[in-house]
């Protein structure tokens, strides 16, 4: 069993990832922490509470960061053209007043849960890395208490999606991401190199809806705006970025990884670019020498198997 805290900026693909975690029998979802990104922190937190209510998820929602690790840093605006003005595909998400968030800020919630379950908690982070960096700042000792950190973010042997150099979750807070990648906890990076290969077709999403009932109807509805964004970009469907990171937790054998330290470019034309120094490859003396921890970067994926696991997991629990 994997105890998971899901750090997220819902977000359409975040919503599918949340439903996957909620349904998977080997996942014990112990918390949801919100972060700004696909929308403002008020909106992503409201969306997390909305999905918790609609999908009857027990895990508490703790509100996270609404600004970058370094206050007032310049970053890109919320991508409303991808996720809609409401962050969930313009379905008209209602205000949620009957589900209270956890009273703690997300970074404090993360620290408390990690300390309560030493060695057991996997952090799955699929938004900007700000909450994780804030948690490390608050309590650096958690690096030895976390089981694994699995993040959706970055682009290594391919272009970014915000700039040619940078992927959105990293570009949105590069300093936070660099802190997370260089901390001495085990990190697995699930970036665009593999997520862009993992495209769920419209028909496959409709099949999930037909087989899984009401919960999946909501997922289907909120995904339509996002699918429209991907028209002309992928073949008839949508990229399920965040679900890939969740699938890694339960089925790492579906991914090929490369080991080596990872750094994030902070500033300039390549702001937010992720670079790995592969283990065993020789370079001249540089700032890359020294004690940087070796992390895992996903470089390939069995996309069909990932998509099948998402399907099978979500349809396994039917609710009308």
Where is 214: in which H helix or E strand?
helix 214-230
Stretch that binds Ca ion, among 102-110, 217-225, 238-246, 278-286 (CB under 5 A): 238-246
| Count of residues near Ca ion by CB under 5 A | 6
241 catalytic? Reply is yes
Q: How far is the CB of 171 from ligand BDR (least distance, A)?
A: 9
- The answer to whether 14 contacts ligand BDR (rule: CB under 6 A) is yes
- What residues have CB less than 8 Å from 115, skipping those under 6 apart? 139, 142, 145
- The answer to whether 11 contacts Ca ion (rule: CB under 5 A) is yes
d(CA 107, CA 135): 4
d(CA 269, CA 209): 42
Catalytic residue among 24, 83, 241, 311: 241
- The answer to whether 169 contacts ligand BDR (rule: CB under 6 A) is yes
Q: Which 121-150 residues touch ligand BDR, going by CB under 6 A? A: 126
- What residues have CB less than 8 Å from 258, skipping those under 6 apart? 276, 278, 296, 297, 299
Distance of CA 156 to the CA centre of its chain: 17
Rg for the chain (alpha carbons), in Å?
18
Question: In this structure, what are the phi and psi dihedrals at residue 199, rounded to the nearest 5 degrees?
Answer: -110, 120
- The answer to whether 152 contacts ligand BDR (rule: CB under 6 A) is yes
Stretch that binds ligand BDR, among 11-19, 86-94, 136-144, 273-281 (CB under 6 A): 11-19
| Count of residues near ligand BDR by CB under 6 A | 14
Q: Which of 2, 3, 7, 13 binds ligand BDR (CB under 6 A)?
A: 13
Q: Give me the residues that bind ligand BDR (CB under 6 A), please.
A: 11, 13-14, 38, 79, 82, 126, 152, 161, 167-169, 241-242
Q: Annotated active-site positions, please?
A: 241
């Amino acid at each position: 069993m994997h105890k998971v805290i899901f750090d997220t900026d819902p977000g359409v693909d975040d919503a599918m990832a949340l439903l996957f975690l909620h349904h998977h029998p080997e996942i014990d979802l112990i918390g949801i922490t919100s972060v700004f990104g696909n929308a403002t922190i008020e909106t992503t937190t409201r969306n997390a509470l909305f999905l918790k209510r609609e999908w009857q998820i027990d895990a508490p929602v703790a509100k996270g960061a609404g600004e970058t690790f370094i206050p007032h840093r310049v970053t890109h605006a919320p991508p409303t053209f991808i996720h809609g003005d409401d962050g969930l595909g313009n379905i008209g998400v209602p205000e949620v007043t009957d589900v209270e968030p956890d009273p703690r800020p997300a970074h404090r919630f993360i620290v408390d849960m990690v300390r309560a379950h030493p060695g057991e908690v996997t952090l799955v982070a699929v938004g900007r890395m700000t909450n994780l960096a804030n948690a490390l700042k608050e309590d650096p000792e958690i690096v030895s208490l976390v089981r694994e950190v699995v993040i959706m973010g970055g682009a290594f042997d391919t272009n970014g999606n915000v700039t040619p150099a940078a992927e959105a979750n990293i570009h949105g807070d590069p300093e936070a991401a660099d802190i997370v990648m260089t901390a001495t906890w085990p990190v697995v990076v699930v970036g665009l190199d593999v997520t862009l290969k993992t495209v769920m077709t419209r028909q496959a999403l409709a099949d999930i809806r037909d087989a899984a009932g009401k919960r999946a109807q909501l997922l289907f509805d909120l995904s339509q705006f996002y699918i429209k964004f991907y028209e002309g970009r992928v073949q008839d469907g949508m990229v399920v970025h965040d679900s890939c990171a969740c699938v890694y937790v339960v089925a790492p054998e579906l991914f090929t990884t490369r080991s080596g330290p990872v750094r994030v470019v902070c500033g300039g034309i390549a702001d937010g670019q992720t670079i790995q120094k592969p283990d065993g490859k020789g370079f001249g003396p540089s700032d890359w020498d020294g004690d940087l921890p070796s992390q895992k970067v996903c470089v390939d994926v069995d996309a069909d198997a990932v998509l099948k696991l998402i399907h099978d997991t979500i349809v396994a629990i039917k609710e009308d």
